[in-house]
Amino acid sequence: MPPALRHFRDFLASLRLPARAWTGAAWGVGLTAALLWSALAWAGFAPAGALTFGLGWLGGLLFGAAFGGLMMLLGWLLRRFPPRYGWAALGALPLLASAYLALPLAYGLLALLAGLMLTVSLLGAALASLSRPDLTARQRRTALVMLILSLTALTGGGAFLLADGYPIQPPVNAAALSAQNVTPLTLPDPSLPGRYPVRVLTYGSGSDRRPEYGAQADLLTAPVDGSQLLDGWSVVRRAWWGFGPEAMPLNARVWLPDGEGAFPLILIVHGNHPMEDFSENGYDYLAELLASRGFIVAAIDENFLNLSLAADFGMFAPLEDENDARAWLILEHLRQWRAWSVTPGNPFYGRVNLDGIGLIGHSRGGEAVAIAAAFNRLPCHPENAALRFDYHFNIRAIAALAPVDGQFLPGEGPLPLADVNYLVLHGAHDMDVVSFGGLRQYNRLQFRDGKPWFKASLYIFGANHGQFNRAWGQRDMLGPARQLFNLGALMPAAQQEQIAKVFVSAFMEAALHDQSGYRALFRDPRAARAWLPETIYLSQYQDSSSVRLAAFEEDIDLETASLPGVSLQGEGLTLWREQVVPLRWGDSHNSAVYLGWETASAPGAPGYILTLPQDAVALFPQSALTFALAFADESPLPGPKRPPEGDLLPLDLTLEVVDSAGETARLPLSHFSLLQPPLRVNLGKASWMSPLPRSEPVFQTFAFHLSDFAAQNPRFNPSQLSQIRFVFDRSPAGVIILDEVGIRP
């Protein structure tokens, strides 16, 4: 051994502590921890008594000892493996976890990783052993058993993973059971093509790698500088696209009605998806329909803002906080359209009605269109005064398909929005945005200026995230991870597209063509059941003309309401509380009242009563009492909020109104609709795969015309309404969530 190496070895040996020193170090760490824990235990447990202190102090020490022992056991187990296997196994774990990364199915992911590691380890060991000629008979039998077990597991597991899943039996459709009073719409089906032939053209930078935005573009556009909005534009992203954030192109595919007149303009914005797999053409089915019905439609290209395993260095260096940039690009496209509309010599001169602008966004694009509508009215970016805005477009309609919410938080708070028509659609089987996140923006949207705005939401059983875009389809997740989800539960793509066509087209007709009759579709989708696939729809509707009696947002007093003078009272309830309504992931940015009852535990019929002051609201026979209800997936009895076992039946109750003279009139909830039980959904191929709740509270708006009560009791005077009573006498037990009690003229 060279002298230098020997001296270095001796130096390291001199640093090695003797066993006695390590024993002393252990006593030092252990006694210090015990003393500090004793001080905390004395402060926390001693006031409750000496016995409590003793048990608490001893329990903490035992927990610490057990935790240390567990860590040592794991280390001992790792040392039992040969270094070669340990290195390979630990290195494989992050790669396998990335391939099957599906956080909504965290338990399924862990089980898959454990099973896969064990199976392929057995397979590799068996094959390596059987390749040796010097095996004993016992070793060969053992290797053969390992081979059979591993191949059986791989075959069964592979069949489980590669199959799309299994169809499910839909739950009872409560609305379909009580549709006898629904009047079908007599308007034309909005999903059918209109009277205009459609031309398709493109505009772009002229230098894009894609011909339709490059050399073959019909119109050329100048790039825009978004460098103040973006961080993390990698050299690979720049090399792929040929530009950086300082020169982002304005690219779009346009569907133009071939007819006379100026047409409302609609921009469609895609969401996040691998940037190399272009997304904007996936909405052709919507764009062509809308253009045929008299709208100019442009599906804009924001693919260069999307994710990329290559450009983001395996997701370790992604673009940061890019959703406000997506919104800003929308407004820059609108700026270009404004210039074109007044510039002779281009196909859009005099053809664009900028008094009627609609935005449609999907996924991150669904949030981006809301951000764009908010930015449109601001003088500058809310987090950067140096980025000035001067847009002020007349954006009248926003439609969001399975949107995210909270990717952009101005000032670290949720995005406010006001005075615009808003529609949000979401699938109960969305495997990407697993909660109805668009409800948050729906709930935050306010009507302030007195104009006739409305907002609507639709929750669709069997719909997923990707099938709103033909290019995405069933791919809610990247790579092998999608095989953990139960794709067999999804409705066919054509049905999901049909739902989008009906609701988005009707929404734009109502908001931009002033075809207000289509609002009835959003008040009750059953009015258009001839146009829609058969599934369960949960819809909400509010408009600016409604008077809110109780929205449960204003304070923490259970007996006060939103409208001054309105009081609230509960009778015989097993639970009565107000709280922020949770979603499967996060919350809904909305408070409501939870009401539980069990008729066997209380004499008489439990109830919940709103008392109105005299002349609080202008009332007429044609006025409608409206409210939103959701079925809470919890027990009505005090204690843990565990979901009831087994399938739940639709709920019914009695709605009773009282006038100032004491005359009463009663109608069952089923006069409008029974209340839908929770839509319990297994996103994975097995129910145990997900740690998330199987259901989330989704409201349904109910509307009762006061004239219907007067028909039940002619002596009841609707203009003198003084009390509204929810009487829980038609279902023996349950928990409902009540919100947005109001009067619609």
Instruction: Decide if 2 is inside a domain.
Output: no
Give the count of domains, the chain: 4
Q: What is the pLDDT of residue 714?
A: 94
Q: What is the pLDDT of residue 281?
A: 95
Q: What is the pLDDT of residue 316?
A: 78
Q: Do residues 660 and 674 both lie within one domain?
A: yes
Q: Which residues contact 363 (CB under 8 A, 6 or more apart)?
A: 270, 271, 272, 273, 401, 402, 403, 404, 432, 433, 465
Q: What is the pLDDT of residue 4?
A: 64
Tell me how far apart the alpha carbons of residues 371 and 376 are, in angstroms, rounded to a whole number: 8
Q: Do residues 535 and 680 both lie within one domain?
A: no
From 132, 162, 192, the end of a domain falls on 162
Instruction: Decide if 539 is inside a domain.
Output: yes
Q: Do residues 509 and 600 both lie within one domain?
A: no
249 in Cβ contact with 205 (< 8 Å): yes
Q: What is the pLDDT of residue 482?
A: 87
Report which secondary-structure segment, H or E, holds 162: helix 137-162
From 513, 543, 573, the end of a domain falls on 543
Q: What is the pLDDT of residue 476?
A: 85
Q: Do residues 146 and 186 both lie within one domain?
A: no
Q: What is the pLDDT of residue 704?
A: 95
606 in Cβ contact with 571 (< 8 Å): yes
Instruction: Decide if 459 is inside a domain.
Output: yes
Closest CA to 161 of 118, 115, 123, 127: 115
Q: Do residues 46 and 108 both lie within one domain?
A: no
386 in Cβ contact with 327 (< 8 Å): no
Instruction: Decide if 12 is inside a domain.
Output: no
- Residues across the chain: 745
CATH of residue 704: 2.60.120.430
Instruction: Decide if 167 is inside a domain.
Output: no
DSSP E strand stretches across 94-251:
198-204, 219-220
Q: Do residues 565 and 488 both lie within one domain?
A: no
Q: Do residues 99 and 237 both lie within one domain?
A: no
Q: Do residues 472 and 615 both lie within one domain?
A: no
Q: Do residues 494 and 581 both lie within one domain?
A: no
What is the pTM (predicted TM-score) of this model? 0.91
Instruction: Decide if 334 is inside a domain.
Output: yes
Q: Do residues 387 and 490 both lie within one domain?
A: yes
What angle do helix axes 323-341 and 364-375 make, rounded to 10 degrees? 60
CATH of residue 361: 3.40.50.1820
Instruction: Decide if 599 is inside a domain.
Output: yes
Cα 50 to chain centroid, rounded: 50
The number of beta carbons lying within 10 Å of the beta carbon of residue 683 is 25
Instruction: Decide if 481 is inside a domain.
Output: yes
From 526, 543, 560, the end of a domain falls on 543
621 in Cβ contact with 614 (< 8 Å): no
Q: Which domain holds residue 71?
A: 18-80
Q: Do residues 53 and 198 both lie within one domain?
A: no
Q: What is the pLDDT of residue 554?
A: 86
Burial class (CB in 10 A: 0-12, 13-18, 19+), 611: middle
Q: What is the pLDDT of residue 125?
A: 82
Residues of the chain with pLDDT under 50: 15
Tokens of 320: 């940061």
Q: Do residues 431 and 504 both lie within one domain?
A: yes
